[in-house]
Structure 1
């Protein structure tokens, strides 16, 4: 048999490496699709409280990580663009279009802003939320996945909407109120909506500023560090913040076991 040339050997290695990359990409996509389409288990049948908490966290954690990763992908793209802009390299039309698309998603619609200014504004918003905070708030807002709004509307975070038919009407809603508790097709959609709310709504500006300050100081962005900024998440105000902090301590103890 005629031996392979050096060029042929390199070509075979390249094809093998490319095939491996494509296989890994396919596996990642299949796993992400499986996570995103996951249905809410019937947590109401679990009577043992420690088991309920463990099962709830085990179900929600992959959804939270997948949703965070989608945000992180956009953030890393923005950081790469920022590095180019810092070198006075202006974005081409494709990158400018992508930048505008992200800006639209995050509620920054001023197309007259310079790319560098827009990137700086977006980096304040396009960022992850600590997994511990996601899981604990979901537990608090959904009654560990057992609330009516979780079971019937896949709503894990108690988010409201204001268009008739957009969700479920609370049983004790005041007569003059119009809000509904938003309904989602999948629990994953509730997670992504929650992340988007914290990253865009004016009520959580302090959270975004606190997160950025921690990053600038090269300090860990933890759920406990951000919990104090959630004063407007509930009408209970500080009592709600205190409850979330208590649950975060319990969560950390559970994870340390």
Structure 2
């Protein structure tokens, strides 16, 4: 209990940190368009400031008096000291990626994936829009051209297996193309006509093959029918000859 000379001390936090703590969003849900908010009431400034760090995530706390930072890895409960503050992270987001879209005090460590949209120009000056998916640490076969453009080559001119960012140690291990769309409308129309022409040629080829196969089967059936007719006629003539011979013997 407080004495007559004591009062509760209120810990002030920056406005952006206050907003993030009051929202109480789930960092795992913030990866997508789904945002979960637990609807916490306004923070009691006289109580200890705490934050639950989820599994495989990290939060940085900076002590302004000691001028030292500490990183807490989840799962863990962080409680701020009198001179400590959360470090707010500004991350890129959206598609295509834009800087400072995501504001958070919790950094997910992966393995995970992220998507992006980029525009490229081919050798024949066709501008295409690629939707890519970057896998952080789950390695699988990818498109060599895209991987070489993202990862680069080593001294043996082989495509590197990953891309490491020295600033934060993030490792991208694979890239997958989710969609390819022409940016220019004329290119898109020409590509659509080309696709339609290919479909038409393939359909006509399949129809011609089926028609040829049907004609071949019909000719084989006619041949068997004609042979059967000849055999039946020969049997009939043989029976007629035997009948005439019997009548002549009488």
Q: TM-score, normalised by structure 1?
A: 0.23
Structure with greater helix percent: 1
Q: TM-score, normalised by structure 2?
A: 0.24
- The structure with higher relative contact order (CA 8 Å, sep 6+) is 1
